[in-house]
Amino acid sequence: MTLTQLTYFQTVARCQHFRLAASELNISQPSLSRSIANLEEELGIVLFERHGRNVTLTRYGRLFLSHADRILSEVAIAEKQMKKLSGNAGHVDIAYVFPLAARYIPHMVRQFLEIEKNKDVTFNFHQSHTGEMIEALKNERYDVIFGSYVENEPDIQFIPIMNQEMIIITPLEHPLSKKKNPGLRDLENYPIIGYEPSSGLGRFTNRTYASYSLKPNIICESPDENAIASLVAENFGIALVADVDVLRHFSLEKLHLTDVSLRHTVYLAYLKDHYQIPAVKNFISFIKKEGTRI
């Protein structure tokens, strides 16, 4: 049984006449008759009662028509959806790390949608850690992710989009905030609130400590700047963090390192050599062009 046979059957059922149905389908009447006969033989049941030139559905033909209508309706919906996705009105699943949630992602997606050809594109937004996003990207749950660089991922294309300055944050009136030239080694003198080791910034800060032979007293680890800044503001310790928008919502001191310049790079990432619908391609191109300027 084929979709063509179902279409032929549906048309004959509606026209109740083989010649009229054949004319509508733009095929010969003998070809239509053979197709319906083959369908009845395959199903092992008679679908039509013949009354001269006219036909009517049998009881079982009416039952089969309900299934045929549903199948062909689903096919039409699927075809419409695929055509929509193949044009500019597609859908993009994106995921990103917490620091980009406050401004970068909302701003860039809104800018993208304000371009006329992109106005009908829809988005799903997800927030996670880099490691989780990488696995989901490889499993095709996301089209595009924004996070840290991960080594040994040959199937993923990483594009740098921004550099975040790494700074020290302390509670208000903290002794370190009064120091004229705060440096990286000062971190060894106070309790530290760190990033979770599995996160991109957790790996970055731990590599930094190792490269400078530092042994900070990390008393707890938190998933993102919001959680870290909350603890710092309540005087649980100090922290080395990326200078992100959310920090301005907390009562704390932001100290720029005077002995070293530390920057953490955020990347746009997507699967290499992987089919992408136009909406996804256009969004990636837009971020490559505009997303590095913000």
What CATH number is associated with residue 272?
A: 3.40.190.10
Distance CA 76, CA 149 (A): 42
Domain termination site, one of 35, 67, 86: 86
- Identify the band that residue 286 occupies on the pLDDT scale cut at 50, 70 and 90: very high
Residue 248 lies in domain: 162-265
- Identify the band that residue 167 occupies on the pLDDT scale cut at 50, 70 and 90: very high
First-to-last alpha carbon distance for the chain, in angstroms, is 56
What phi and psi values does residue 184 have, to the nearest 5 degrees? -65, -40
- Residue the block writes with tokens 């710092």: 232
Residue 177 and residue 230 in one domain: yes
Domain termination site, one of 59, 86, 113: 86
- Residue the block writes with tokens 């309540």: 234
* Stretch 251-259: mean pLDDT: 93
Residues 137, 142, 148: CA angle, nearest 5 degrees: 55
- Identify the band that residue 236 occupies on the pLDDT scale cut at 50, 70 and 90: very high
Average pLDDT, the chain: 90
Residue 121 and residue 70 in one domain: no
Distance CA 264, CA 260 (A): 13
Distance CA 140, CA 270 (A): 10
* CB atoms near residue 189 (< 10 Å): 12
pLDDT tens sequence across 130-149? 889 999 999 999 999 999 99
Residue 141 and residue 173 in one domain: no
Which long-range contacts link 248-254 to residues 24+ away (Cβ below 8 Å)? 251/172, 252/169, 252/170, 252/171, 252/172, 253/169, 253/170, 253/171, 253/172, 253/174, 253/177, 254/167, 254/168, 254/169
pLDDT tens sequence across 168-185? 999 999 999 888 899 999
Task: Please give the tally of structural domains in the chain.
Answer: 3
What is the predicted pLDDT for the residue at 293?
65
